[in-house]
Structure 1
Amino acid sequence: MPGTVLLLAASPVGRGRLVDAAGVLPVLAAVAPAVLSGADTANVVELADPLEPQAVLTRLRAAAAAPGPLTVYLTGQLHLDRRQHRPHLALARTTAATVRYTALPWHWIREELRLRSAADTALVVDLHADAEAWKHITEHGLDCGPYTAVYGRVAPPARRGLAEPAYMKTVATLLRSGHRPPLGTLHEQALSRIPEETRGNLLLAHAGGWTAVGTATTAPAAPAVPLGAGPAGGAPGAAPPGIPAPGIPAQGIPVPELPAPWGPAAARPGDRPGERSDDPSGDRPGDQSGVPVGDRSGELAGRPPADPESVGDPPADPGPAGRPSGGSDPHAAISAAVRDGLHQEADGLAARYEEAAARAHGAGSEQALHWREVRADLAMFAGDPVRSCRAWLAVAEARLAAGQAADAPAVEAAVDRAHHQWGRIEDPASARELGPALARLRLRVPGRRRGALENVQRQLGRLQAAP
């Protein structure tokens, strides 16, 4: 099975540029795809100084959905948005005043990769942070999720001039030998070659699950800070409470692309990781249709087949992540059922685990909500946008009722997914029924895309005016 490699180098054009990120791409591009991936063969996608967050999200989503191992080589700079104080990856048009709208939210990356396995998902990063982002990250860590292996460094702002992505260039130079050692070994080899360039940096090295990281040793070392959410001392590979288990073929889209004319242009064959592509925007002239999500069961992250019958009945306590504490992982069985077109069986199995999680932890618990989200995605895979929209609306309402903020990523994601599925409903009566509930939610949860509420109101007006 071929692997997938995403080469992403991004930094602002102009005075806000901290690092010459794109300068590393020629060195990485000279490495054989199979070596970049660590697989026998690999598909490589390159993004050099992309302009739009949604275009990057499209490429990242396609890469995350591809079967086989995924390695993302990411070079760039981090900034905080001034409203929510969350890390963002700056893109070509990013300025200090427009981070929230022109940069890629770091949690989008985490969300896209959250349902893959650390055994086949890795981030190799060379990041430079501005002063605010550096302070935030050294205090709070950089949350990459519990199921992604992460290696690399975050550097503070350079004292003068434009910084060089020395870590990533060293990694690329090592890989040009034609051999890719285990990423942990590659990371150590790269650091040993550039000790001065990484002095005082935040070094990221973990193979999945929760672990602590610290700064490179100099005079007194800074205290270790957590990379990802989890209890201190958690064993690598252990899922923190409330984190969904990997394996289910969920859509995993923080901000889905909505139907035209409000949504962006459609994903196209060139947007998928089937070839090297140097077009940073992913756009092609003349195609203004909405993104076709539909049944992506043929694009799921590789998982071993499983027989749903082998999972057995859900336990009384499905465990901290809403899954059994022992035995077969039901996500693998559900994934296999979707691949085989057994959508009703997949939903039935998920429903049993939702009921078990609700009994053990409460209907509004993160464990139960995880399974409701799984079922919402399963409805999408089954080609039932009405059921999927209704389920995402219910998830959003439940999260808000539990006290989660309207701009919390999980709340925004649920409303955005409900909006996406509502736009795919063909039956006018069903769309009219669900439209008012979506409009009420959009008043509370406008999301990151301007015009979302207006889009719902406009489409609902057309539906209500139709005979």
Structure 2
Amino acid sequence: MPGTVLLLAASPVGRGRLVDAAGVLPVLAAVAPAVLSGADTANVVELADPLEPQAVLTRLRAAAAAPGPLTVYLTGQLHLDRRQHRPHLALARTTAATVRYTALPWHWIREELRLRSAADTALVVDLHADAEAWKHITAHGLDCGPYTAVYGRVAPPARRGLAEPAYMKTVATLLRSGHRPPLGTLHEQALSRIPEETRGNLLLAHAGGWTAAGTATTAPAGGAPGVAAPVIPAQGIPAQGIPVPELPAPWGPAAARPGDQSGVPVGDRPGEPAGRPPADPESVGDPSADPEPSGRPSGGSDPHAAISAAVRGGLHEEADGLAARYEEAAAREHGAGSEQALHWREVRADLAMFAGDPVRSCRAWLAVAEARLAAGQAADAPAVEAAVDRAHHQWGRIEDPAPARELGPALARLRLRVPGRRRGALENVQRQLGRLQAAP
């Protein structure tokens, strides 16, 4: 099975540029695709200084949905948005004042990869942070999801001039030998070659997995690893091995179109027709061995693999039944409003989407959003926004007017509290609901 490689290098044009990110792409492109991937063959997608967050999201989503191993080589710079203080990957048009709208939210990357297995998904990063982002990341960590393999470094802003992506260039140079060692070994080899360039950096080495602790170290003078500090984990328990759903970000589908020339084979996902990016609010919904249940897998067992296999085989009822058993067990052990139980409710909402049941999926996502808000989570928390966005997306796919009319008011009430990142979401619901109610 071929692997997929995404080469992403992004930094602003103009005075806001901290690092010559795109300069690393010729070196990476000279490495054989199979070596970049660690698979026998691989499809490679290259993004150099992209302009739009949605365009990057579309490529990332297509790569995440492709079968086989996925490696993302990411070079760029991090900034905080001034409103919510969340890390964003700066793109070509990003300025200090427009981070929230022109940069790629880091949690979008985490969300797109959250349903893949750490065994076949890796991030290799060479990132430079501005002063605010550096202060935030050294205090809170860089949340890539605790079960995604992550290797690389985050550097503070350079004291003078434009920084070089020395870590990624060194990784590429090592790979040009024609051999890709385990990523942990490759990471250590790269650091040993550039001790001065990584002095004082935050070094990331996290292999992922259900029990992996994952650490980040700060390299002191001389570049040797320093005292380990925990990587801040993602909320909840990420699913592993289930195909990535159509995550609305902001709230309309943005799946790659069939025939996309990205180099990634894109086909219809179970229960999901191919979509297209929305141009405006009107386009929402107009376009993806049975372990014992418990709140969390133990002894290395992974129920997500069994669920994923059932989905691929078209056994949607079996997949939902298994997820329901884990939801019940998690609720008994941790409480119905716990992250463990909510995780399985989210999995079941995605499974309904894969089964082609937007009514059930929409209803489930509405319930997840309400549960998170009732638990005191903020209306702009990523998990809350994602739940409402997915509910909105699935509501737009409901063809039967009766359930659409039934669910519309609940979605509108949620949109009042959770407007999301894109303007016009509430107005879109109200407009569509008005049409439904006016219809005979």
TM-score normalised by structure 1 residue count: 0.79
Between 1:295-304 and 1:355-364, the stretch displaced more is: 295-304
For 1:381-432, what per-residue CA distance to the aligned partner results, in whole angstroms no more than 9, with x for missing partners? 1101001000100110011111111111111110000000001001111111
Between 1:382-391 and 1:334-343, the stretch displaced more is: 334-343
Specify whether residues 406 and 215 from structure 1 end up closer, same or farther in structure 2 by C-alpha distance, changes over 3 A only: closer
Specify whether residues 288 and 194 from structure 1 end up closer, same or farther in structure 2 by C-alpha distance, changes over 3 A only: closer
For 1:21-77, what per-residue CA distance to the aligned partner results, in whole angstroms no more than 9, with x for missing partners? 111111111111000001111111111111111211111112112221111100000
SS in 1 for 2:216: coil
Between 1:363-372 and 1:325-334, the stretch displaced more is: 325-334
Q: 1:244, 1:357 → 2: CA distance?
A: 19
Structure 1 alignment gaps of length 5 or more: 219-229, 268-283
Specify whether residues 167 and 215 from structure 1 end up closer, same or farther in structure 2 by C-alpha distance, changes over 3 A only: farther
SS in 2 for 1:317: coil
Q: Is the 8 A contact 1:202 1:214 kept in 2?
A: no
Cα offset for 1:377?
A: 0.8
Q: 2:146, 2:296 → 1: CA distance?
A: 15
Specify whether residues 217 and 146 from structure 1 end up closer, same or farther in structure 2 by C-alpha distance, changes over 3 A only: closer
Cα offset for 1:248?
A: 11
Specify whether residues 145 and 285 from structure 1 end up closer, same or farther in structure 2 by C-alpha distance, changes over 3 A only: closer
Q: Is the 8 A contact 1:264 1:288 kept in 2?
A: no
Percent identical pairs in the alignment equals 96
Specify whether residues 294 and 410 from structure 1 end up closer, same or farther in structure 2 by C-alpha distance, changes over 3 A only: farther
Cα offset for 1:323?
A: 2.8
Q: Is the 8 A contact 1:323 1:330 kept in 2?
A: no
Q: Is the 8 A contact 2:4 2:63 kept in 1?
A: yes
Q: Is the 8 A contact 2:151 2:184 kept in 1?
A: yes
Cα offset for 1:187?
A: 1.4
Runs of 4+ in 1 over 6 A off after TM superposition: 210-218, 230-262, 284-295, 298-321
Matched residues, number: 440
Specify the alignment match of 1:35 in structure 2. Answer: 35
Specify whether residues 287 and 120 from structure 1 end up closer, same or farther in structure 2 by C-alpha distance, changes over 3 A only: closer
SS in 2 for 1:443: helix
Q: Is the 8 A contact 2:79 2:130 kept in 1?
A: yes
Q: Is the 8 A contact 1:320 1:367 kept in 2?
A: no
Cα offset for 1:324?
A: 3.8
Cα offset for 1:297?
A: 3.9
Between 1:320-329 and 1:292-301, the stretch displaced more is: 292-301
Q: Is the 8 A contact 1:322 1:353 kept in 2?
A: yes
Structure 2 alignment gaps of length 5 or more: none
Q: 2:17, 2:282 → 1: CA distance?
A: 55
Between 1:95-104 and 1:71-80, the stretch displaced more is: 95-104
Q: 2:174, 2:261 → 1: CA distance?
A: 43
Between 1:286-295 and 1:323-332, the stretch displaced more is: 286-295
Q: Is the 8 A contact 2:5 2:70 kept in 1?
A: yes
Q: How big is the alpha-carbon RMSD for the aligned residues of Structure 1 and Structure 2? A: 8.6
Specify whether residues 211 and 75 from structure 1 end up closer, same or farther in structure 2 by C-alpha distance, changes over 3 A only: farther
For 1:246-283, what per-residue CA distance to the aligned partner results, in whole angstroms no more than 9, with x for missing partners? 9999799999879999847652xxxxxxxxxxxxxxxx
For 1:121-178, what per-residue CA distance to the aligned partner results, in whole angstroms no more than 9, with x for missing partners? 1111110000111111112211111111111111111111111111111111111111
Specify whether residues 106 and 41 from structure 1 end up closer, same or farther in structure 2 by C-alpha distance, changes over 3 A only: same
Specify whether residues 83 and 30 from structure 1 end up closer, same or farther in structure 2 by C-alpha distance, changes over 3 A only: same
Q: 1:261, 1:138 → 2: CA distance?
A: 28
Q: Is the 8 A contact 1:201 1:216 kept in 2?
A: no
Specify the alignment match of 1:226 in structure 2. Answer: none
Specify the alignment match of 2:346 in structure 1. Answer: 373
Cα offset for 1:118?
A: 2.0
Q: Is the 8 A contact 1:317 1:324 kept in 2?
A: no
Specify the alignment match of 1:434 in structure 2. Answer: 407
Cα offset for 1:352?
A: 1.9
